[in-house]
């Protein structure tokens, strides 16, 4: 009984620390407004992270655009990237990643999505009318109240291609236009 109480206290403190770290990171990339103790982040039903000209993350290369003007950033500098978005964890969520371009099928298929450290309950991939590929993953709700208003999304690449032999110093996987998180 005593060990269960201690474990519960440790889990509660860990949840609070995760929330603090997520909030600090989100503020660093300007996704979540400054928090005031009496005004916690409001739970939102959806949020979109646009990988536009103002986007900057160490896992991604600089902004590019297709011939039709659709902008994106290549991931490949690092093998993963984590983003904190102000979407409630209290409900199941869907994460949609819009891929504009991929080096090959292996890099596209190697792109995985996790949410709050969990693997998806389901994956889906759809070709959109504008030619982008929407990779969707659904996730169960996270129990507990710690960090309930914030969702951590992690993108990982399982394959990338070194373009040095072609005279390009980059190592690329997929070009991403936007990430959308929606509470279901």
State the pLDDT at residue 180: 96
Closest CA to 173 of 80, 37, 94, 95: 80
State the pLDDT at residue 150: 86
Indicate the pLDDT class of residue 41, thresholds 50, 70 and 90: low
What's the CATH number where 85 sits?
2.60.120.260
> Coil, helix or strand for 99?
strand
Average the pLDDT over each of 6-20, 23-37, 93-107, 135-149 and give the range with the smallest value. Answer: 23-37
- For residue 81, the number of C-alpha atoms closer than 13 Å in the C-beta half-sphere is 26
State the pLDDT at residue 142: 85
Residue 171: CB atoms within 10 Å: 19
Look up the domain containing 17 and give its range.
2-183
Taking the C-alpha atoms of residue 116 and residue 107, their distance in angstroms, rounded to an integer, is 23
Helix (H) or strand (E) holding 161: strand 161-162
Residue 40: CB atoms within 10 Å: 12
Residue 131 has pLDDT above 90, yes or no: yes
Q: How many folded domains does the chain comprise?
A: 1
């Amino acid at each position: 009984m005593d060990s269960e109480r201690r474990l519960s206290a440790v889990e509660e403190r860990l949840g609070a620390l995760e929330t603090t770290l997520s909030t600090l990171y989100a503020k660093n990339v300007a996704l979540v407004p400054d928090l005031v103790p009496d005004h916690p982040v409001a739970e939102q039903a959806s949020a979109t992270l646009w990988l536009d000209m103002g986007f900057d993350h160490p896992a991604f290369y600089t902004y590019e655009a297709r011939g039709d003007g659709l902008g994106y950033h290549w991931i490949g500098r690092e093998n993963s990237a984590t983003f904190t978005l102000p979407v409630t964890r209290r409900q199941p969520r869907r994460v949609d990643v819009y891929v504009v371009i991929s080096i090959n099928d292996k890099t596209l298929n190697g792109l995985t999505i996790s949410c709050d450290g969990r693997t998806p309950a389901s994956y889906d991939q759809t070709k959109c009318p504008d030619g982008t590929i929407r990779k969707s993953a659904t996730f169960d709700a996270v129990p507990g109240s710690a960090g309930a208003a914030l969702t951590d999304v992690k993108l990982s690449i399982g394959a990338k291609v070194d373009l040095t032999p072609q005279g390009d110093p980059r190592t690329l996987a997929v070009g991403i236009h936007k990430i959308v998180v929606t509470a279901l």
